[in-house]
Amino acid sequence: MEQRCQCGEPIEFEYQKGEVRKPGSVWNRYREFYGFDISESYSLGEGDTSLTSLNKLSSELGIELFAKNETTNPTWSFKDRGTFLGVQQAAKNDFSKIGTVSTGNMAVSVAAYGARFDLDTHIMVSKDIDKVKLSQIGVYGPKIYRVDGDYGDLYFRSLEVGKSKEVYFINSDDPYRVEGYKTIGFEIAEEMVPDHILIPTSSGGLFRGIVKSFMELKKSGIIQRLPEFTAVQGEGCSPIYYAYKEERDEISHVKEKNTFAKAIANPYPPSGNEVLRKLKQLDGNCVSVCDGEIISSQKELASEGIFAQPAGCVGIAAAKKLKDNERIEEGEKVVSIITGSGLKVRSGEFKGSQITDLNIDELETI
Amino acid sequence: MEQRCQCGEPIEFEYQKGEVRKPGSVWNRYREFYGFDISESYSLGEGDTSLTSLNKLSSELGIELFAKNETTNPTWSFKDRGTFLGVQQAAKNDFSKIGTVSTGNMAVSVAAYGARFDLDTHIMVSKDIDKVKLSQIGVYGPKIYRVDGDYGDLYFRSLEVGKSKEVYFINSDDPYRVEGYKTIGFEIAEEMVPDHILIPTSSGGLFRGIVKSFMELKKSGIIQRLPEFTAVQGEGCSPIYYAYKEERDEISHVKEKNTFAKAIANPYPPSGNEVLRKLKQLDGNCVSVCDGEIISSQKELASEGIFAQPAGCVGIAAAKKLKDNERIEEGEKVVSIITGSGLKVRSGEFKGSQITDLNIDELETI
């Protein structure tokens, strides 16, 4: 394996003859699954993310575990798939103003597409948002409102104000968002129908989109059976998990939220009851994982080459739990949705690397 | 555009029948262009990034400007395409240790793939690396060495030490890296043969890879003409630009580097002379852009929905310059390579957004 020529200059490989083959975008491949037209003119290239085999965790757990890596979307979270459809439809319906209620991934995503579609963009964040997140939203230049009040209530209040002020609020479980998230399911189905899909669940929009895609694939006769769907929440803010465990039909409003997985800490998920109905209908599962489990999973995922934000790791934590209590069986195929990039969160928790100070003349000591 | 049912629950779209179509990965589509086998077993899903039309800048400049958005790779820079091939070959050739010399994107990328392939990974960074970058490398758990000495020299010293210690140093212009970067050219050619390609240039590895891909496409009879290739550097560290301007055949070592585009500030590019030869052979161009131009371009790119690191924006700055001096003509198709994500750099410079503090009862005032 020579890397440079003896003359000191770089070397390179010989020419080989080949051909050009163009793949279609996910929007184009699955256009038949939509009851409305999708134009790609303002797309930023959403989706077509990798389904990555997690080799170490798989052999440790005795299952086939895969990460659906949503951290490689245009604003580095799954939200872009839904935002693109929603903002496009708002523009098509002559809205000149859009908005959203979010402090994290969705705020960044809506800010980016608002800029892209050249719309007046209103982002409602919580009062105590940190500076890093504020600056990530701010790069795209939207109007930002720091709102003092309950985050769960704000969802409904924003929709009301949106109607009166002609602002299309593309919130967490907007119908177009759910349609956008279907593409995650379609892409997974191109590779396999797994036994389990583990879905970080906050508002319920992502969960609903993935479930809907597989139900539509089955209805179309393309797949014969559904995976088991597991909604995963963070302990400290898990209203869907509590209702599921207590076999209630309706979620309750969580008053104090306290989880490391901030991106999925929704105290009153607007699609919470719908998630409960789907879990009942399809014999799905709901799991809650604690901060310690999330941090371990984040490190394990990094050791497979994927750096995810804490909320993106809850599915991995759930996989371990479900394997332990045998809800996931030996050898089963499991897909965990990795919702957003670790770069988005200031990460002081990784102190794993050994750091050595060297002078250039001491390189031989490595 | 109803978003929720009058009963208070979410609504969703009706089922539509469709089909499943699976696209091939870029490695599979272009395998014929390689003189060695590529296995995808440890891939993290490199490449297949979007070629995004920059609508506002295009109409402002009177050209068709596109961003090849490399910020959506597995570690959010173009480096992954090259790292994947290099690390794979190191593993195939029984190296148990790999390394690189980098303080930015390449360090993160090699750390990730080192973890992925389960190799002992040695990352040499400069002595004055900042904490944010150190933590981004550290998440994947490599051994990190802060080296006191000249960064240009370190490239060559690491290759020597690599030979004696059996560490495969996959540095900036490693032959496999250049092969990996060819996929950027193949993907662009699936869409078009542009009139110009603007390439942020540091070591010269990326420039060489893109040029090589188009030359191979022409040799294969797939395209009839080559784009004009422009190497873009940051003023304050532009050894290739100075040699090009002074019509020298060899670069000189830059002693003091000082540019906002830190990710391309290589004082002694190991493929610098080769870039000069290619520019001469193909009648290419070389441009240098200052910090002010880079910052403006970063904002303009964000207003199109893409948040890039400063070094990723130099092509946009160059497009404006080249249009001004008529090297790029009215209506021409121009592709700018956006090398890495803006999330990687702490961005204090964006103060554009208007921030308003509101109580939840005051939403109507937006």
pLDDT, mean of residues A4-29: 84
pLDDT in tens, A178-215: 999 999 999 999 999 999 999 999 999 999 999 999 99
| CA atoms of B83 and B140, how far apart (whole Å) | 15
pLDDT, mean of residues A316-332: 97
Q: What is the domain partition of chain B in residue ranges? A: 29-76+175-344, 79-169
Residue A64's SS3 state is strand
How, if at all, do strands B285-289 and B228-234 pair? parallel
pLDDT reading at A357 higher than 80: yes
- Indicate yes or no: CB of B48 within 8 angstroms of CB of A23: yes
Q: Which residue has the tokens 């010399």?
A: B101
pLDDT reading at A217 higher than 90: yes
pLDDT in tens, A102-129: 989 999 999 999 999 999 999 999 888 8
Q: Tokens in use for A295?
A: 């941090």
What pLDDT shows up at residue B353? 83
Find chain B residues with C-beta within 8 A of A90's C-beta.
1
What pLDDT shows up at residue A353? 83
Closest-CA residue of B relative to A351 is B138
**Taking a contact as any Cβ pair under 8 Å apart, which residues of chain B between 18 and 77 contact chain A?**
18-24, 29-36, 41-45, 48-53, 55-56, 69, 71-76
ipTM of the complex: 0.94
Same fold, B29-76+175-344 and B79-169: yes
Q: Tokens in use for B42?
A: 């440890």
| CA atoms of B279 and A91, how far apart (whole Å) | 44
Closest-CA residue of B relative to A168 is B1
pLDDT reading at A18 higher than 80: no
pLDDT in tens, B150-200: 878 899 999 999 999 999 999 999 999 999 999 999 999 999 999 999 999
pLDDT band at B3 (very low <50, low <70, confident <90, very high): confident
pLDDT reading at B348 higher than 60: no
Count of positions (residues) in chain B: 366
pLDDT reading at B116 higher than 70: yes
Find chain A residues with C-beta within 8 A of B44's C-beta.
50, 52, 69, 305-306
Residues of chain B with pLDDT > 70: what percent?
A: 98
Q: How many CA atoms lie within 13 A of B98 on its CB side?
A: 30
Q: How many CA atoms lie within 13 A of B94 on its CB side?
A: 0
Beta-strand ranges (E) seen in chain A are 51-53, 64-69, 97-101, 120-126, 143-148, 167-169, 196-200, 228-234, 285-289, 333-338, 354-359
B197: which strand partners? B229, B335
- Helix B79-92 with B105-116: angle, nearest 10 deg: 40
| CA atoms of A301 and B116, how far apart (whole Å) | 10
At residue A230, what are phi and psi to the nearest 5 degrees? Answer: -120, 120
**Taking a contact as any Cβ pair under 8 Å apart, which residues of chain A between 203 and 262 contact chain B?**
204, 208, 212, 215-217, 219-220, 222
Q: Which amino acid is at B358?
A: L
- Indicate yes or no: CB of A360 within 8 angstroms of CB of B30: no
* Residue B127: its H or E element: none
Closest-CA residue of B relative to A22 is B190
- Indicate yes or no: CB of A144 within 8 angstroms of CB of B356: yes
CB proximity B144 to A under 8 Å: yes
Residue A100's SS3 state is strand
B233: which strand partners? B288
CB proximity A345 to B under 8 Å: no
Closest-CA residue of A relative to B350 is A139
End-to-end Cα spacing for chain B: 21
Which of A2, A4, A157, A212 is the best mutation test for B, with the most CBs of B within 10 A? A4
What pLDDT shows up at residue B347? 60
Q: Tokens in use for A252?
A: 């309750």
Say if residues B226 and B98 touch (Cβ distance below 8 Å).
Answer: no
Q: Which residue has the tokens 């929009």?
A: A205
Closest-CA residue of A relative to B205 is A10
Say if residues A197 and A230 touch (Cβ distance below 8 Å).
Answer: yes
- Indicate yes or no: CB of B118 within 8 angstroms of CB of A56: yes
Q: Please give the mean pLDDT across all residues of chain B.
A: 94
Find chain A residues with C-beta within 8 A of B154's C-beta.
360
pLDDT reading at B284 higher than 60: yes
pLDDT band at B351 (very low <50, low <70, confident <90, very high): low
Least confident of B8-12, B36-40, B116-120, B279-283: B8-12
Chain B: give the shortest CA distance to residue A324, in Å: 25
What pLDDT shows up at residue A22? 74
Least confident of A81-85, A249-253, B257-261, B332-336: B257-261
pLDDT in tens, A135-176: 999 999 999 999 998 878 899 999 999 999 999 999 999 999
Of residues B72, B347, B364, nearest to A164 (C-beta):
B364
What pLDDT shows up at residue A348? 55
Residues of chain A with pLDDT > 90: what percent?
A: 81
Residues whose CB is less than 8 angstroms from the CB of residue A70 and which lie 6 or more positions away in sequence, other chains included: A49, A77, A78, A184, A312, A337, A338, A339, A340
Say if residues A211 and A280 touch (Cβ distance below 8 Å).
Answer: no
What pLDDT shows up at residue A84? 98
pLDDT reading at A347 higher than 80: no
pLDDT, mean of residues A1-11: 85
Range B79-169 classified under CATH 3.40.50.1100? yes
Find chain A residues with C-beta within 8 A of B359's C-beta.
147-149
pLDDT, mean of residues B327-344: 97
- Burial environment of residue B147 by CB neighbours within 10 A (0 to 12, 13 to 18, 19 or more): buried
Say if residues B1 and A93 touch (Cβ distance below 8 Å).
Answer: yes
Q: How many CA atoms lie within 13 A of B36 on its CB side?
A: 18
pLDDT reading at A309 higher than 90: yes
Say if residues B136 and B108 touch (Cβ distance below 8 Å).
Answer: yes
Greatest alpha-carbon span in chain A: 75
H-helix segments, B150-268: 151-165, 175-191, 205-219, 239-245
Instruction: List strands edge to edge, sheet with A120-126.
Output: A167-169, A97-101, A120-126, A143-148, B354-359
Question: What top-level class would CATH report for the domain B29-76+175-344?
Answer: alpha beta
CB proximity A129 to B under 8 Å: no
Say if residues B253 and B273 touch (Cβ distance below 8 Å).
Answer: no
Find chain B residues with C-beta within 8 A of A306's C-beta.
44, 74, 112
Which of A29, A68, A145 is the best mutation test for B, with the most CBs of B within 10 A? A145
Q: Which residue has the tokens 């609020």?
A: A169
Q: Tokens in use for A277?
A: 């109905």
Q: Which amino acid is at A92?
A: K
CB proximity B166 to A under 8 Å: no
Q: Please give the mean pLDDT across all residues of chain A.
A: 94
